[in-house]
């Protein structure tokens, strides 16, 4: 292996440092670095300053928008609270109104039931009186018919005459 490397190393020469400033371009590199050192901060500085100003302006705008959004949020929260209070009031009023309607409906239903019950009771008592009167008439009629049927066989002439006189006396006293 050394035999292979020997011709390669022999053809390139020996290893060492080249200290000749013209051959190594040290002067050119020093000029370029000095130029960059001198001019790059101004060029990059102005670019960075413009970028910094733009970023600060964007941050200022963002802060303004944040403040505006915060105020809008606070206003929206106040309006939401007011709307919730109004909705609660409407709900409360609706429940009270529904309760009043329900109570009024119950009251009217009870009144109607009482009226119907009184009407039924009145109708019942009227019908009972009518039936009672009819039964009395029927009983009186039957009693008169029975009495008239039995009377001729039970009364003789003197008893009939005495009964008629007594009935006439009763009619006269009335």
Written as one string, the DSSP assignment of 65-92 is HHHHHHHHHHHHHHHHHHHHHHHHHHHH
Asked if 121 contacts 129 with a C-beta cutoff of 8 angstroms, the reply is no
Pick from 117, 120, 99: nearest CA to 109: 117
Q: Is residue 1 part of a domain?
A: no
Distance CA 147, CA 155 (A): 11
Q: Is residue 161 part of a domain?
A: no
Distance CA 106, CA 108 (A): 5
Total of domains in the chain: 1
**pLDDT tens figures, 58-77:** 999 999 999 999 999 999 99
Pick from 126, 102, 98, 99: nearest CA to 110: 102
Asked if 27 contacts 21 with a C-beta cutoff of 8 angstroms, the reply is yes
φ and ψ at 25, to 5 degrees?
Answer: 60, 30
Give percent above pLDDT 90 in the chain.
Answer: 40
Q: Is residue 155 part of a domain?
A: no
Distance CA 142, CA 62 (A): 115
Q: Is residue 67 part of a domain?
A: yes
Confidence of residue 112 (pLDDT cuts 50, 70, 90): very high
State the distance between the two ends of the chain, measured CA to CA, in whole angstroms. 175
- Domain assignment of residue 135, given as a range: 23-150
Distance CA 93, CA 22 (A): 101
Cα 62 from chain centre: 38
Q: For 10-14, 21-25, 93-97, which range has the lowest pLDDT when averaged over its residues?
A: 10-14
Q: Is residue 12 part of a domain?
A: no
For 21, 116, 148, 161, 168, the CA distances from 171, given in Å and listed in that order, are 176, 46, 19, 15, 5
Q: What is the pLDDT of residue 146?
A: 82
Q: Is residue 162 part of a domain?
A: no
Q: Is residue 168 part of a domain?
A: no
Q: Is residue 18 part of a domain?
A: no
């Amino acid at each position: 292996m050394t035999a292979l490397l020997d011709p390669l190393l022999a053809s390139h020469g020996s290893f060492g440092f080249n200290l000749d400033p013209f051959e190594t371009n040290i002067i050119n590199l020093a000029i370029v670095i000095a130029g960059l050192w001198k001019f790059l901060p101004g060029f990059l500085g102005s670019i960075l300053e413009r970028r910094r100003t733009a970023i600060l302006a964007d941050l200022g705008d963002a802060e303004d928008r944040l403040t505006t959004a915060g105020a809008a949020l606070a206003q929206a929260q106040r309006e939401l609270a007011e709307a919730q209070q109004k909705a609660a009031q409407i709900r409360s009023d609706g429940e009270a109104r529904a309760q009043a309607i329900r109570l009024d409906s119950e009251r009217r239903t009870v009144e109607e039931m009482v009226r119907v019950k009184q009407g039924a009771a009145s109708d019942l008592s009227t019908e009972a009186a009518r039936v009672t009167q009819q039964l009395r008439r029927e009983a009186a009629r039957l009693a008169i018919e029975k009495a008239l049927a039995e009377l001729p066989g039970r009364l003789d002439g003197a008893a009939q005459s005495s009964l008629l006189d007594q009935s006439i006396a009763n009619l006269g006293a009335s």
